[in-house]
Amino acid sequence: MRKYLLSRLAQIPPVVFGVVTIVFLLIHLIPGDPVEIMLGESAVPAQREELRRELKLDRPVLRQYGEFLGGLVKGDLGVSFRSREPVLREILSRFPSTLLLAAASLFVALLLSVPLGVLSAMRQHSPLDHLCAFLAMLGLSLPNFFLGPLLILVFSVHLGLLPVAGYGTARHLLLPALTMGMGMAAILMRMLRSSLLEEIRQEYVRAAAAKGLSRRAAVLRHALKNSMIPVLTVLGLQFGALLSGSIITETIFSWPGIGRLTVQAIDARDYPLVQGCVLFIALCTVAVNLMTDLLYSRLDPRIRHE
Amino acid sequence: MSKRGRSRGNNVLARFRRHRGAAAGLGFVSALLLVALLAPWLSPYNPSAQELDSGLSGPSSSHWLGQDKLGRDLLSRLIHGSRVSVAVGLGTVGISLAIGLLTGSLSGFLGGRADHLFMRLADILMAFPGILLAIAITAVLGPSLRNVLIALSLLGWVGYARLIRAQVLKVKEMEFVQSARAVGSPPARLLLAHILPNALSPIIVEATFGIARAIVAEAGLSFLGLGIAPPAPSWGAMINEGRHFLFVAPHIAVVPGLAIMAAVMAFNFIGDGLRDALDVREQIP
C-alpha cells in the first residue's frame, strides 16, 4: 500500500506544475495589449502604466513566472484589479457556497441513481429497465444551461413552488442541486446498472442464493456493495466536473459561489481573478482525483497489489 | 474487400439497424446536416432582421416559432444556429481526432521516453475539469468560431490520444502483428496497415459521443457569452437570451433548448448503437 501511495503521490508535483504553468500563460495569450483590453480605450497612459506595474507585466516573462510561482507558495494569487481584494480571499469567501451546492448535487445524484440503477439491473430487459435507460439518456442529453431554465419554468413560473434564484434557504438550494445532479445521476445509474449486472453473474451471488438467500437479498446484501466500487470512482472523478459545471448553474440561479465569481471576473475582464478561479478549481480537481484513487485502492485490494 | 470483411461489415450494419434508437438518431442527424447545409434557402427570414414592435411574440402563421425580444424570427435563427452546432461538433472532433491519432498511435507504438512525456502532458491537461480550460481560453481570446474550435480541440485531443494509445498497445502484441513484424514489415506499414485499422472500433464510438459533447460545450460557451460573437445565432446564446423572459415568452429559451437536446440525444443514440454493433465493451463514461 505504501509503495502505491508513494508512486501515486509522485505523480502530483508534475501535474500541479503543469497546471500552474498553463494558468500563468493564460494572461499572456490575450491578443494585443492585456492592459489596454482590461482598461478600455478611454484610459490615460498613466493608468495603463500603473496597471502594467501592478500586474508586473513590465518585467521579463521569466521573472514574472518566477514571481508567480513564489507568490503561489505563499498562498498569494495576486490582487483582483476591480475590487482590490486579494484573489485568494475572494475565492475562499465564495468556496463554502460552491461546496454546499456540489454536496447537495451529489446527494441528489445518489438518491436518483442508486434505486433506479438497482431496479433496472434486477429487472434487465423489462419495460422498467427500458424506461430507466431512456431516462438516463434524457439526463445525459439535457445540458444544465437548458435544464436549469426548464426547472425554473415548471417549478417557479407555472407551479410557483420554488424561488427563481437566490441563496440562503433549502428552497433556494433545490433547483440548482437538481440541475447539477440530474446529469450525474444519469451517468451513475448507467454505471451502477452495468457494474451490478456483472456482479450478479459472479459465483458468490449464486452461492448465496444456493444457501437459501432470496435473489433480492443476495443482490442487495452482497453484489451491491461490490458493484459500488467503480461507481464511487466515477463519483469522485465527476466532482471536478461538478465544480466546472457550477460556472453555468451558479450563473443561472445567481448562486454566490466560485462559478459565478469566475463569470463575473470574465465579464469585468479581471484577469488576475479569472486566473485565480481557474487555478483553484483545477487544483481542487487534482486533489479530489487523488483522494478518489486512494479510496479506490483501499476499497479494492486488487488495485494496490497489482 | 474480401468476402469475410464484407460479411463482418454486413453484420455490423445489421446489428446497428436493429438498434431502434440509433436508427432514429441517424435519421435526425441526417436531417440536421441537411438543414445546416441548406440554411440560407430554408430559413424564411434573415436571422438578424429585427421587427422591434413585435418582439417576444409567440408562434404565429408568419413566424412559426415566434420572435425574440428584438423581433427576430426564431425559426430562422434556429436554422442558422444549426450551422454553428454542426460546424463545432464536426470541426472539434475532426481536429481532436487528427491530433489524437498522430500522438496516441506514435506514443503507443514507439513507447519509451516519448510515451512517458505524452502521458505526463495528458495528465496535466486532464486535470482541468469539464469545459473549464475552454472557458478560460475563450475568455482571453474573445468569442469567435475559430477560438471556440481552438479552445475545445486543445483539450479534446487528449481523450482520443489516450484511447488510441491504449488500443495500439493492445493490438501491437497480437499474433498477426507479431507475424507481420517477423516477415519484415517496416514499422510504418505495421502501424498504418495492421495496427490502426484493428484499433479503430472504440475510437469511432468515442468520436460519435465526442460530437455530442462538443455541441453541448459550444452551446455552454455561447450561453456564457464566450462562444460565437453576436448577433450570429447560436443555440446556447439563444437560451441565454430567452431565460430572462421565462415568465412572458418561455418559447424563446425552450425552442433552442429542445433543439440541443434532440441533437445531443441523436448522437448519443448513434454512439450507443455503434458500441453495440461494433461490440465495444462499455467504458467508464
Q: Report the share of chain A in percent with pLDDT over 70.
A: 98
Distance from CA of A17 to the nearest CA of B (A): 8
Q: What SS3 class is residue A59?
A: coil
Query: What CATH fold (topology level) applies to the domain A92-299?
Result: MetI-like fold (1.10.3720)
State yes or no: pLDDT of B284 exceeds 70: no
Is the CB of residue B128 less than 8 Å away from at least one CB of chain A? yes
- Taking contacts as CB-CB distances below 8 angstroms, the residues of chain B near A289 are 127
Q: Would you mind telling me the total number of residues written for chain A in this entry?
A: 306
Contact between residue B222 and residue B236 where contact means Cβ atoms under 8 Å apart:
yes
Tens of pLDDT, residue by residue over B219-276, are 999 999 999 888 889 999 999 999 999 889 999 999 999 999 999 999 999 999 998 8
Instruction: Decide if domain B3-47+62-277 falls under CATH 1.20.58.340.
Output: no
Tens of pLDDT, residue by residue over A126-181, are 999 999 999 999 999 999 999 999 999 999 999 999 999 989 899 999 999 999 99
Nearest to A183 by CA among A239, A109, A249, A102: A109
- Taking contacts as CB-CB distances below 8 angstroms, the residues of chain A near B143 are none
Q: From CA A272, how far away is CA A55, in angstroms rounded?
A: 8
Higher-pLDDT residue of B139 and B34 is: B34
Q: Taking residues A285-294, what's their average pLDDT?
A: 86
Of A11, A237, A245, the CB nearest to B123: A11
Is the CB of residue B131 less than 8 Å away from at least one CB of chain A? yes
Domain assignments of chain B as residue spans, ordered by start:
3-47+62-277
Q: From CA A29, how far away is CA A63, in angstroms rounded?
A: 17
Q: What SS3 class is residue A223?
A: helix
What integer pLDDT is reported at residue B257 of this predicted model?
A: 96
- Taking contacts as CB-CB distances below 8 angstroms, the residues of chain A near B224 are 247-248, 251, 263, 266
State yes or no: pLDDT of B285 exceeds 50: no
> Which own/partner pairs from A43-47 qualify as long-range (CB within 8 Å, at least 24 positions apart)?
none
Task: Indicate yes or no: CB of B246 within 8 angstroms of CB of A243.
Answer: no
Is the CB of residue B265 less than 8 Å away from at least one CB of chain A? yes
The chain A residue lying nearest B256, using CA atoms, is: A146
What integer pLDDT is reported at residue B14 of this predicted model?
A: 85
What integer pLDDT is reported at residue B4 of this predicted model?
A: 57
Tens of pLDDT, residue by residue over A70-100, are 999 998 988 887 888 999 999 999 999 999 9
- Taking contacts as CB-CB distances below 8 angstroms, the residues of chain A near B285 are 187, 190-191, 234
**Least confident range of A28-37, A229-238, B108-117:** A28-37
The cell numbers describing B159, all together, are 481523450
Q: CB neighbours of B33 closer than 8 A, spacing ≥ 6?
A: B86
What integer pLDDT is reported at residue A89 of this predicted model?
A: 95
What are the distances in angstroms from CA B102 to CA B98, B160, B196, B216?
6, 10, 11, 26
Is the CB of residue A151 less than 8 Å away from at least one CB of chain B? no
The cell numbers describing B268, all together, are 448519443
Domain assignments of chain A as residue spans, ordered by start:
2-73, 92-299
Q: What SS3 class is residue A220?
A: helix
What integer pLDDT is reported at residue B2 of this predicted model?
A: 56
Task: Indicate yes or no: CB of A143 within 8 angstroms of CB of B261.
Answer: yes
Q: What kind and span of H or E run contains A217?
A: helix A215-218
Ramachandran angles phi, psi of B269, nearest 5°: -65, -45
- Taking contacts as CB-CB distances below 8 angstroms, the residues of chain A near B133 are 22, 278
Of B125, B260, B284, the CB nearest to A230: B284
Q: ipTM of the assembly? A: 0.89
What integer pLDDT is reported at residue A35 of this predicted model?
A: 80
Nearest to A174 by CA among A255, A62, A274, A266: A255
Q: Taking residues B10-38, what's their average pLDDT?
A: 91
- Taking contacts as CB-CB distances below 8 angstroms, the residues of chain B near A142 are 261
Q: From CA A163, how far away is CA A172, in angstroms rounded?
A: 6
Is the CB of residue A140 less than 8 Å away from at least one CB of chain B? yes
Q: From CA B24, how far away is CA B26, in angstroms rounded?
A: 5
State yes or no: pLDDT of A305 exceeds 70: no
The 3-state secondary structure of chain B reads CCHHHHHHHHHHHHHHHHCHHHHHHHHHHHHHHHHHHCHHHHCCCCCCCCCHHHCCCCCCCCCCCCECCCCCEHHHHHHHHHHHHHHHHHHHHHHHHHHHHHHHHHHHHHCHHHHHHHHHHHHHHHCCCCCHHHHHHHHHHCCCHHHHHHHHHHHHHHHHHHHHHHHHHHHCCCHHHHHHHHCCCCHHHHHHHHHHHHCCHHHHHHHHHHHHHHHHHHHHHHHCCCCCCCCCCCHHHHHHHHHHHCCCCCHHHHHHHHHHHHHHHHHHHHHHHHHHHCCCCCCCC
- Taking contacts as CB-CB distances below 8 angstroms, the residues of chain A near B225 are 267
Q: Return mean pLDDT, chain B.
A: 90
The chain A residue lying nearest B137, using CA atoms, is: A26
State yes or no: pLDDT of B118 exceeds 50: yes
Task: Indicate yes or no: CB of A157 within 8 angstroms of CB of B246.
Answer: yes
Of B129, B136, B253, the CB nearest to A26: B136
Compute CA B261 distance to the chain's CA centroid, rounded to the nearest angstrom: 13
- Taking contacts as CB-CB distances below 8 angstroms, the residues of chain B near A146 are 239, 253, 257, 260-261
**Least confident range of A2-11, A206-215, B46-55, B226-235:** A2-11
What are the distances in angstroms from CA A215 to CA A195, A210, A222, A252, B93?
17, 10, 10, 45, 45
- In order, the DSSP letters of A279-301 are HHHHHHHHHHHHHHHHHHHHH-H
Contact between residue A258 and residue A280 where contact means Cβ atoms under 8 Å apart:
yes
What integer pLDDT is reported at residue A175 of this predicted model?
A: 96
Q: From CA B161, how far away is CA B107, in angstroms rounded?
A: 9
Q: What kind and span of H or E run contains A45?
A: helix A45-54
Q: How confident is the model at residue B205 (pLDDT cuts 50, 70, 90)?
A: very high
Contact between residue A194 and residue A120 where contact means Cβ atoms under 8 Å apart:
no
pTM of the model: 0.91
